[in-house]
């Protein structure tokens, strides 16, 4: 199938992808999906949104008296949006696994808090059959929460799953 074709069919009348569409594309359970909607998806750019829930368990613990969205989860959400952008550019993306390989740079100039909505902007800077380079930012309103440059790897799903199964089947030494 042509790159983007199977994903384009999931868009609503306005061209957006909702959380249900994203859950059918991205390999994350609801508790670990940090993207609510994608409002813009083109070959080299994506814009996505995530409202930080006020009752999320991770916010009660980070920090107990002053909850803020963990920077690692901001990176995760932005990365999930980025993997969608990469998948959009792959023929037969369903047969691939897209995983983070390298965080080239990340900055957190401002924290995000419960109830705020993050806007992820992701640009595809390079893509070949084995990897992609992404860059962009996460914003809460006009504030930059994170700016990022990341490399993701692209692997055959069957071969990757076999590698993981083989690794887990090996006896461990004590």
| Residue 1's pLDDT band (cuts 50, 70, 90) | very low
**pLDDT for 172:** 63
Q: What is the CA radius of gyration of the chain?
A: 17
pLDDT in tens, 26-66: 999 999 999 999 999 999 999 999 999 999 999 989 998 99
Is the pLDDT at 173 greater than 70? The verdict is no
Task: Check residue 17 and report its DSSP letter.
Answer: B
User: Helix (H, G, I), strand (E, B), or coil: what is residue 66?
Assistant: coil
Please name which of 40, 67, 62 lies closest in space to residue 136, comparing C-alpha atoms: 40
C-alpha distances (whole Å) from 110 to each of 18, 46, 49, 118, 135 are 27, 22, 17, 12, 18
What's the predicted TM-score (pTM) here? 0.93
Q: Which domains does the chain have, with CATH numbers?
A: 5-169 (3.10.129.10)
């Amino acid at each position: 199938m042509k790159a983007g074709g199977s994903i384009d069919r999931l868009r609503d009348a306005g061209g957006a992808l909702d959380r249900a569409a994203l859950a059918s594309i991205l390999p994350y359970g609801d508790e670990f999906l940090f993207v609510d909607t994608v409002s813009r998806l083109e070959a080299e750019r994506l814009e996505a949104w995530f409202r930080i829930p006020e009752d999320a368990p991770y916010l009660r613990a980070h920090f107990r008296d002053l909850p803020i969205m963990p920077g690692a989860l901001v990176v995760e959400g932005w990365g999930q949006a980025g993997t969608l952008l990469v998948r959009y550019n792959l023929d037969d993306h369903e047969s691939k696994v897209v995983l983070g390989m390298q965080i080239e740079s990340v900055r957190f100039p401002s924290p995000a808090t419960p109830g705020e909505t993050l806007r992820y902007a992701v640009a595809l800077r390079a893509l070949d059959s084995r990897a992609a380079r992404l860059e962009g930012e996460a914003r809460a309103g006009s504030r930059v929460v994170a700016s990022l440059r990341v490399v993701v790897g692209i692997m055959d799903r069957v071969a990757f799953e076999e590698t993981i199964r083989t690794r887990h089947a090996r006896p461990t030494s004590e």
